[in-house]
């Protein structure tokens, strides 16, 4: 590989000096263009900066009329400069006037120039401007000159990113990099978060761009690539990485890319053209990102993402940077922005400082979402390309209800949201006033409001929300965030802590509901075509009794001398309850034989979340002490629509006749059998739906802690008798096809019930 010819190498050295000079931004830009023109032996060198209105404004020039600076302008897509900006690709033209996009700008006096070379000023794949050189004579610019110009463009991108060029913006204009942007994704966790961007994988800022010694840089790159490859190999040979499965394929692809010759060659070329190893990685990464943004094929996008991840790792190796911001660097109002992350990674952040979460990927039931919800962090997922739109420290607002992310919001958007937050806080204060009051309807019906939990971070909410207990403790969450299978002693200690925190209040522990979307990274399971209907929950528990028995033993031991409520998930047939009871009895026998104290009272319950249970309620009531309706799964299975698939998840309304009739059948059967029934799906936490449930006869509801206040306010304003009447007429009138939701909302408005 050749080194850079003397001219461009001198240019890069001069650039380094110019960057260090204590001069104004305009002077620096002017010096840069003069220097480039001299080195490339071009008559013209110009810098165009992209403004928020999509216009490329001339910011500096050598060779064009000086008066044109800050006046000459082209739209993105217009002319050669606009084409480069739109396509994020260089244009190298010996005869520019022949190009179909050529456009004459009289104010610059450029018609006499024939040859044209322009490169985009890119940062994280995003175009911030264009750098151009022009010559009178017909000439083709050398590859080395293109490279040198691209390197200079990187320097200019850095000047833009650190805000140096912002001060040059004409009154009334804003450079594109600082433009307010609203991007829409999918709301994952309700709430509004105002704060500042913290990139989960912070962009490594490359400051040394220009190589002192090409050979040294080439060696540094070689060593870094070798250590990257070792890292990927190590990852693949870890014991906890299963032999097969989707993640394995992803890692294998990583390994392949880490050995990709084209990638390594492009980085080496950049070094031989005068860049440091890290600047070379960044340059190739920026090109990849620009391609990524143009790419719509999801498969190719994924592959380009893999290269992006690898480049990040490589940069970290080269610059000795660790992963993620340290606790001290985290602002008090952090909005974490990531492509995706694991549940445990989110828990690594100081909860007190995290106001929001934005993910490029991340679906409503991904694990990180479950944890974000448990933590009450306003979250938005599927915010495509958000990583290329933000810089660390940018102001940002996350609206988890609307699924919107406002990046660098304008003052009025910020004010509107600040008002929204104040309003929510005020409402929260009102709920606080209700905290110690029992939820009793206007006509004297007592409604029991419980909360759902699963992690230690949930426990303080018990006190804060005024919930009367934990109606659903999802034990699998603790397993999901663990690095390895929790041992018996660890499980016992964990359940003990939960019981301690709950004091006298009841807790319903649900046995492990893993499988489906809830995956334990360290538990090998076969790939299934329909995991939600596959080998999950109690099915897995009964087939792998070692796992279930260990959990039962831990629960029984932790509850020594106190009440223990155990609930079984995904019960489909009665024999599953019988078999589990046998396991429990055996565990109790074991404890007694070994002189352990057993719970003072043991109550066993079943989830009703598989439709088959609707026709076995009578038999079930003889086997269990209580039931709880899992409306999330029951609705998914009754409507054959995957709750985790956003294409269908919101398609069918739970406030519909067939579903409400099913829920009524359950509550009536339970009442007849004198079987306590709770409903613990997401419906219970939605005031309008909770109103319908009270109308159907439900008197015990379990919901997220944040929903307890709003549901209590609704219940206390409600006449349960009247809503029962309304629901009855809506469900019994066979010919009526009118929307149940609308009718219920009308009822609530007429009755002054807040929802
Ligand atoms: C349900 O299915 O409604 C439920 C409460 O359980 P999970 O959401 O954990 O499946
Ligand atoms: Mg369920």
pLDDT digits (tens, 9 = 90+) for 439-475: 999 999 999 999 999 888 788 889 989 999 999 999 9
pLDDT at 1: 34
- Ligand closest to 365 (CA) is 1
Separation of CA 630 and ligand 1 centre (Å): 5
Position with higher pLDDT, 644 vs 389: 389
Residues 6+ apart with CB under 8 A from 197: 335, 337, 390, 391, 392, 393, 394, 395, 396, 407
Q: How far is the CA of 341 from the centre of ligand 1 (A)?
A: 23
Of 107-111, 132-136, 183-187, minimum mean pLDDT range: 107-111
pLDDT band at 4 (very low <50, low <70, confident <90, very high): very low
What's the chain's Rg over C-alpha atoms?
31
pLDDT of residue 451: 95
The answer to whether 439 touches 703, Cβ cutoff 8 Å, is no
Q: What spacing in Å lies between the alpha carbon of 333 and ligand 2's midpoint?
A: 34
pLDDT of residue 138: 87
Find out whether 453 and 492 touch, Cβ atoms under 8 Å.
no
Most confident of 355-364, 593-602, 730-739: 593-602
Q: Report residues whose beta carbon is within 6 angstroms of any ligand 1 atom.
A: 472, 474, 513, 609, 630-633, 680-681
* Residue 502 predicted with pLDDT over 90: yes
Calculate how far, in angstroms, residue 633's C-alpha sits from the geometric centre of ligand 1: 6
Is 189 an active-site residue? Answer: no
Helix (H, G, I), strand (E, B) or coil at 737: coil
Which of the residue ranges 311-325, 492-506, 570-584, 735-749 would you say has the lowest mean pLDDT?
A: 311-325
Nearest CA to ligand 1 atom 9: 474
pLDDT at 445: 98
User: How far apart, in whole angstroms, are the C-alpha atoms of residue 45 and residue 48?
Assistant: 10
Q: Which atom of ligand 1 is nearest to the CA of 629?
A: 3
The mean-pLDDT minimum among 88-92, 313-317, 406-410, 613-617 falls in: 313-317
Selecting among 200, 272, 367, 461, the annotated active-site residue is 367
Residue 2 pLDDT: 39
pLDDT tens-place string over residues 197-221: 999 987 677 778 888 889 999 999 9
Whether pLDDT at 150 is above 80: yes
Q: Which of 2-11, 144-153, 325-334, 357-366 has the lowest mean pLDDT?
A: 2-11
Residue nearest to atom 6 of ligand 1 (CA): 630
Percentage of the chain surpassing pLDDT 70?
93
Mean pLDDT of the chain: 88
Q: Report the pLDDT averaged over residues 251-263.
A: 80
Range scoring the smallest mean pLDDT among 71-75, 286-290, 405-409, 472-476: 286-290
- Reduced to 3 states (helix: H, G, I; strand: E, B; else coil), residue 717 is coil
State how far the Cα of 10 lies from the Cα of 28, in Å rounded to an integer: 17
45 among known catalytic residues: no
Range with the poorest average pLDDT among 190-194, 294-298, 617-621 = 294-298
Each residue's pLDDT tens digit, 25-49:
999 999 999 999 998 889 999 999 9
pLDDT in the model for residue 6: 60
Q: Which atom of ligand 1 is nearest to the CA of 513?
A: 9
Query: Does residue 378 register a pLDDT over 60?
Result: yes
DSSP 8-state symbol, 127:
E
Residue with tokens 């439709």: 611
pLDDT at 490: 95
Structure confidence by residue, pLDDT tens digits, 354-373? 999 999 887 766 667 877 87
Pick from 514, 516, 422, 507: nearest CA to 458:
507
Nearest to 269 by CA among 214, 227, 317: 214
- pLDDT score of 246 more than 80: no
- Please give the average per-residue pLDDT across 639-649, as a whole number: 81
Q: Is the pLDDT of residue 398 over 60?
A: yes
Which atom from ligand 1 is nearest to the alpha carbon of 631?
A: 3
Instruction: Please state, in angstroms and rounded to a whole number, the distance separating the CA atoms of residues 445 and 715.
Output: 9
Residue located nearest, by CA, to atom 8 of ligand 1 = 632
Ligand 1: nearest atom to the Cα of 476: 9
In sequence order, what DSSP letters do the residues of 211-248 get, joined into one string? Answer: -S-HHHHHHHHHHHHHHHHHHHHHHHH-TTS-SSSHHH
130, 85 Cβ separation under 8 angstroms: yes
Report which ligand 1 atom has the smallest distance to the Cα of 628: 5
Residue 307's pLDDT is 77
Mean pLDDT of the 692-718 span: 95
Give the mutation target among 508, 609, 635, 682 for probing the ligand 1 site: most ligand atoms within 8 A of CB.
Answer: 609
Atom of ligand 1 nearest to the CA of 609: 2
Examine the pLDDT at 163 and tell me if it is beyond 50.
yes
How far does residue 569's CA lie from ligand 1's centre (Å)? 8
Do residues 434 and 233 make contact, with C-beta atoms less than 8 angstroms apart? no
Mean pLDDT across the stretch 167-187? 89
Give nearest CA residue, ligand 1 atom 4: 630
| Catalytic residue from among 189, 272, 635, 680 | 680
Is pLDDT of 290 > 90? Answer: no
CA of 670 to the centre of ligand 1 (A): 19
**Atom 10 of ligand 1, residue of closest alpha carbon:** 633
Ligand 1 pocket test: pick from 569, 679, 685 the residue with the most ligand atoms within 8 Å of its Cβ.
Answer: 569
| pLDDT above 90 as % of the chain | 55
Which range has the worst mean pLDDT, 61-65, 89-93, 405-409, 734-738? 734-738
Question: What's the whole-number mean pLDDT along residues 395-403?
Answer: 93
580: Cβ contacts below 8 Å, ≥ 6 apart: 511, 538, 541, 542, 548, 568, 604
- What b/e readout covers 696-718, taking b as 16+ CB neighbours within 10 angstroms? bbbbbbbbbbbbbbbbbbbbbbb
Q: Is the predicted pLDDT of residue 165 greater than 90, yes or no? A: no
Which ligand sits closest to the CA of 631? 1
Ligand 1 atom nearest residue 633's Cα: 2
Write the DSSP string, 314-353: HHHHHHT--SS--GGGS-TTEEEEES---HHHHHTS-GGG
Q: How far is the CA of 349 from the centre of ligand 1 (A)?
A: 27
Q: Which of 451, 478, 630, 683 to mutate to test ligand 1, by most ligand atoms within 8 A of the CB atom?
A: 630
- Nearest atom of ligand 1 to the alpha carbon of 680: 5
CA pseudo-torsion sign 501, 504, 508, 509: positive
Structure tokens at 398: 């996350």
Cα–ligand 2 centroid distance for 630 (angstroms): 5
**Residue nearest ligand 1's atom 1 by CA:** 630
726 CA distance to ligand 2 middle (Å)? 29
Q: pLDDT category, 251, cuts 50, 70, 90?
A: low
**In angstroms, what is the span from residue 620 Cα to ligand 2's centroid?**
18
pLDDT at 302: 65
pLDDT grade, residue 114 (50/70/90)? confident
Rounded distance from Cα 12 to ligand 2 centre (Å) = 61
Ligand 1 nearest atom to the CA of residue 630, by list position: 3
């Amino acid at each position: 590989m050749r080194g850079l010819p003397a001219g461009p190498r001198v240019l890069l050295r001069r650039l380094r000096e110019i960057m260090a000079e204590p001069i104004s931004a305009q002077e620096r830009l002017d010096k840069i263009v003069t220097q480039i023109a001299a080195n490339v032996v071009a008559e013209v060198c110009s810098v165009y900066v992209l403004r928020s209105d999509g216009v490329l404004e001339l910011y500096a020039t050598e060779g064009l009329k000086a008066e044109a600076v800050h006046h000459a302008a082209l739209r993105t897509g217009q002319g050669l400069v606009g084409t480069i900006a739109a396509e994020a690709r260089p244009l190298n033209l010996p005869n520019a006037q022949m190009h179909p996009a050529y456009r004459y700008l009289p104010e610059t006096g450029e018609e006499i120039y024939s040859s044209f070379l322009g490169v985009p000023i890119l940062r994280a794949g995003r175009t911030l401007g264009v750098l151009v050189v022009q010559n009178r004579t017909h000439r083709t610019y050398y590859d080395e000159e293109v490279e040198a110009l691209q390197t200079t463009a990187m320097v200019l991108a850095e000047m833009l990113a650190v805000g140096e060029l912002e001060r040059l913006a004409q009154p009334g204009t804003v450079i594109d990099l600082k433009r307010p942007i609203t991007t829409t994704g999918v709301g994952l966790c309700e709430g509004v978060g105002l704060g500042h961007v913290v990139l989960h994988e912070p962009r490594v800022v490359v400051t040394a761009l220009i190589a002192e010694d090409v050979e040294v840089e080439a060696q540094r790159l070689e060593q870094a690539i070798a250590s990257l490859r070792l890292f990927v190999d190590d990852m693949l040979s870890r014991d906890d990485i299963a032999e097969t499965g989707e993640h394995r394929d992803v890692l294998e692809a990583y390994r392949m890319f880490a050995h990709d010759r084209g990638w390594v060659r492009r980085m080496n070329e950049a070094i031989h053209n005068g860049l440091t190893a890290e600047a070379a990685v960044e340059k190739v990464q920026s090109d990849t990102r620009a391609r990524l943004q143009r790419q719509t094929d999801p498969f190719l996008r994924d592959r380009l993402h893999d290269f992006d991840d690898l480049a990040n790792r490589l940069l970290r190796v080269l610059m000795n940077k660790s992963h993620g911001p340290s606790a001290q660097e985290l602002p008090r109002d952090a909005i974490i922005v990531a492509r995706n992350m694991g549940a445990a990674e989110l828990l690594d952040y100081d909860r007190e400082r995290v106001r929001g979460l934005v993910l490029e990927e991340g679906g409503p039931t991904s694990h990180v979402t479950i944890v974000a919800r448990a933590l009450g962090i306003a979250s938005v997922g599927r915010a495509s390309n958000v990583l290329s739109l933000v810089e660390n420290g940018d102001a940002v607002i996350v609206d988890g209800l609307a699924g919107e992310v406002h990046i660098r919001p304008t003052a009025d958007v910020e004010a509107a949201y600040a008002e929204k937050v104040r309003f929510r806080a005020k409402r929260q204060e009102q709920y606080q006033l209700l905290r110690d009051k029992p939820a009793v309807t206007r006509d004297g019906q007592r409604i029991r409001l419980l909360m759902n939990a699963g992690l230690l971070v949930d426990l303080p909410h018990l006190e804060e929300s005024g919930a009367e207990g934990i109606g659903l403790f999802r034990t699998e969450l603790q397993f999901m965030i663990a690095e390895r299978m929790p041992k018996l002693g660890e499980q016992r200690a964990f359940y003990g802590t939960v019981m301690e925190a709950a004091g006298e209040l009841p807790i319903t522990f649900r046995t492990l509901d893993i499988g489906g979307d809830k995956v334990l990274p360290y538990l090998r399971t076969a790939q299934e075509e329909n995991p939600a209907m596959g080998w999950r929950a109690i099915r897995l528990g009964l087939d792998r009794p070692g796992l279930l028995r260990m959990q039962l033993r831990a629960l029984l031991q932790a509850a020594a001398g106190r009440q223990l409520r155990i609930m079984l998930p995904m019960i489909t047939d009665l024999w599953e309850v019988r078999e589990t009871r046998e396991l429990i009895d055996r565990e109790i026998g074991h404890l007694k034989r070994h002189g352990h104290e057993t719970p003072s009272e043991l109550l066993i319950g079943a989830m009703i979340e598989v439709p088959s249970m609707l026709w076995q309620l009578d038999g079930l009531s003889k086997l269990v002490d209580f039931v709880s309706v899992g409306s999330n799964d029951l609705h998914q299975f009754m409507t054959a629509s995957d709750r985790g698939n956003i294409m269908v998840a919101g398609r069918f309304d739970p406030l519909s006749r067939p579903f409400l009739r099913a829920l009524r059948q359950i509550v009536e059967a339970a009442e007849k059998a004198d079987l306590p029934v709770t409903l613990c799906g997401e419906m219970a936490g939605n005031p309008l739906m909770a109103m319908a449930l009270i109308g159907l006869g439900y008197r015990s509801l379990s919901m997220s802690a944040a929903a307890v206040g709003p549901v209590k306010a609704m219940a206390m304003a409600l006449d349960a008798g009247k809503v029962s009447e309304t629901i009855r007429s809506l469900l019994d009138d066979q010919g009526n096809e009118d929307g149940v939701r609308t009718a219920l909302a009308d009822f609530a408005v007429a009755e002054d019930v807040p929802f």
